Amino acid sequence: MMEPAPVFADGVDHERLTAQLRFILETDKLKRVLRRNLLVDGSRRENDAEHSWQLTLMARLFAEYAPDGTDIDRVTEMLVLHDIVEIDAGDTFLYDPQHAASQSQREHAAAERLYAILPDDQAKHAHELWSEFESRTTPEARFAKAIDRLAPMLANWHTDGGTWVQFGVTKKQVRDKVAIIAEGSAALGSYAAALIDDAERRGYLTGE
């Protein structure tokens, strides 16, 4: 990786800023990690950076559907950070059980390497947010996970079934995977359930 340009303002902690710049340059790689789902116009596959941006926007727009007292700033911070591990670990397709079996190991190793590029305090904070998202032990993490699961559903519905059709995904498989949405938001969970029923009627999902 190319070193950050050595141009600093007076009074700035050069070592700290250099570490932050290194992290920003490293995360540029997220733009080339392709996900399975298409853009909603069907023109190409989405990349991880685009996915992360859209999730943060969704969290802001859907904040009213989060449980009372949810810290949306924390939610958006989780969403913008959580997929950075895929720079090393790659995207794991939700309906690929063989690849999913090693997902936790791959992503934990990635988190250790990537967040450690940051200054110590920011590295600790980023790793804690990522762990919170993965464990879903807080309302913020559960709402963030709900947003993360809803986004590809929308992409699939708007691309005539997208990866659901491509990989012969069943209604039960989708329903089982998106039950997590209702854990984070009753309103979004209800919407997701209705979307699944409609997808089945349109032939995007096979039967039980």
* CATH number, residue 78: 1.10.3210.10
Residue 171 included in any domain: yes
Closest CA relative to residue 32, chosen from 46, 42, 47, 45:
47
The predicted pLDDT at position 100 comes to 82
Regions of the chain with pLDDT less than 70: 1-9, 208
Residue 3 included in any domain: no
Residue 88 included in any domain: yes
Q: Is 120 exposed, middle or buried, given 0-12, 13-18 or 19+ CB atoms closer than 10 A?
A: exposed
Residue 204 CA: distances (Å) to CA of 31, 40, 43, 76, 198? 29, 15, 19, 31, 9
The predicted pLDDT at position 99 comes to 81
Residue 174 CA: distances (Å) to CA of 18, 81, 180? 44, 25, 11
Q: What is the tens place of the pLDDT at every residue in 22-80?
A: 999 999 999 999 999 999 999 999 999 999 999 999 999 999 999 999 999 999 999 99
Residue 2 included in any domain: no
Containing structural domain, residue 195: 14-201
Residue 106 included in any domain: yes
One-letter identity of residue 95: Y
- Give the integer Cα–Cα distance in Å for 184 and 191: 13
- Give the integer Cα–Cα distance in Å for 60 and 52: 13
Residue 9 included in any domain: no
The predicted pLDDT at position 97 comes to 84
Helix crossing, 186-201 with 171-184: angle to 10°? Answer: 160
Residue 174 included in any domain: yes
The predicted pLDDT at position 12 comes to 85
Q: How many domains does the chain have?
A: 1
Alpha helices in 28-83 (DSSP H): 48-61, 72-82
Residue 36 included in any domain: yes
Collect all residues with Cβ–Cβ distance below 8 Å to 142 and sequence separation of at least 6: 136, 180, 183, 184
Q: Is 145 helix (H, G, I), strand (E, B) or coil?
A: helix
